[in-house]
Amino acid sequence: MKKVCPTGKMIAGKTHLSVLVIALFLFVSCSSWKNAAYRNMTVVFYNVENLFDVENEPGKSDGEFTPDGQKNWDETRYQKKLSDISNVISGINEGDLPEIVGLCEVENEKVVRDLVQTGLLAKGNYEVVHHESPDFRGIDCALAYRPEEFKVLSHSAVPVSFEDDPNPATRDILYVKGRTRNREEFHVFVNHWPSRIGGVDKTEPKRVAVARVLKSKIDSVMSRNAKAHIIVMGDMNDDPDKKSLSEVLGANAPSTPDAVLVNLMFPDFNNGKGTYNYRGNWNMLDNMIVSPGLLDSKGFRCVEEKGHIFHEEWMEHRSRNKEMSPNRTYGGPNYYGGVSDHFPVYFRLRR
């Protein structure tokens, strides 16, 4: 008579369960691999127009941005601006937050940390890179990034000097070297070049000087790796076709053969679009520039090979003649309650 193990059914059940667990593990692993193989990254730059806290910081010319200052800047207005900027940045991607966000016109590291902990941005667990610069108004550049997608390896401030001005009061260039989840190395430069106050032609030499400093730094990176992944972002206070960008930096349109650098904002600029409106005229002052290594088929590459301007109706101001411009926070001492006098720019990467 054949004996049957009384636990046979239990053993068979455990075996069946083990097979299911292994199958589920393989499915999750394959799905994770597939997701990793087809990843997206969004890179944003935003001039946030004078993001100051409400404290009067010694050594900075920020007295007007205090409750007792000319602009009557208080905690309520500060919190509203943080909330508005958070809504803009988190609205660029549906269902996902940008991985890398460059900012300019921020007072200090504190305001950037306050920003990334506000609203939907808090879900991104952003880390912050910031260096104090010698700007006389106390505004700097900064980078916010999602550490699960981008790991910072090093960062530094690149000082800017002018031959005709031994005591410059302009922003440093922020340089951040990092690595993506799949270990691709990125070199990110966040810029805010000298303004046009005093006239475009008269102030152009200073922007040309900054472009030379930046070009030297980029050349140094590319001398070590000709296919380096370089991202240059910022408010350059110049359009893409100006000497500082097209000639000195060598940032050309995406269709340019053998371009050393590519300005992703050229297509929109050539179509009459811009990020800043001055007396009814649009200027593409905010630029996104990449190295050819981000346009090839290896690793991350630029989707569409162009950048984009982000704006929604609530970010806009309509004049009496129906002309649209970014809805700014202040005009002189007058509080308008808008987000910024610039629209943000962005581009997407995919691998």
Q: How far apart are CA 216 and CA 174, in angstroms?
A: 14
Predicted local confidence at residue 137, as pLDDT: 86
Higher pLDDT, 209 or 32: 209
Q: Give the mean pLDDT of 198-211.
A: 95
Helices of type H across 64-158: 75-91, 109-116
Six-digit token string for 174 = 């922020």
DSSP E strands: which ranges in 216-267? 229-235, 251-252, 261-263
Predicted local confidence at residue 8, as pLDDT: 47
- Whether 288 shows a pLDDT value over 50: the answer reads yes
Q: Give the mean pLDDT of 126-155.
A: 96
Q: Percent of the chain beyond pLDDT 90?
A: 75
Q: How far apart are CA 49 and CA 253, in angstroms?
A: 28
Report the phi/psi class of residue 234: left, alpha or beta, with left for phi > 0 and alpha for psi in -120 to 50. left
296: pLDDT confidence band, cut at 50, 70 and 90?
A: confident
- Whether 166 shows a pLDDT value over 70: the answer reads no
CA 21 to chain centre: 42
Q: How far apart are CA 242 and CA 122, in angstroms?
A: 38
Which range among 82-86, 131-135, 142-146, 148-152 shows the weakest confidence by mean pLDDT?
131-135
- By CB neighbour count within 10 A (0-12 exposed, 13-18 middle, 19+ buried), where does 245 fall? buried
Higher pLDDT, 135 or 47: 47
- Whether 105 shows a pLDDT value over 70: the answer reads yes
Tens of pLDDT along 220-278? 999 999 999 999 999 999 999 999 999 999 999 998 988 999 999 999 999 999 999 99
Predicted local confidence at residue 168, as pLDDT: 64
Predicted local confidence at residue 319, as pLDDT: 86
Q: Give the mean pLDDT of 203-210.
A: 95
Q: Give the mean pLDDT of 88-113.
A: 96
Q: Give the mean pLDDT of 44-64.
A: 90
Check if the beta carbon of residue 208 is closer than 8 Å to that of residue 245: no
Q: What is the residue-averaged pLDDT of the chain? A: 89
Which range among 8-17, 140-149, 176-185 shows the weakest confidence by mean pLDDT?
8-17
- Whether 4 shows a pLDDT value over 60: the answer reads no
- pTM to 2 decimals? 0.89
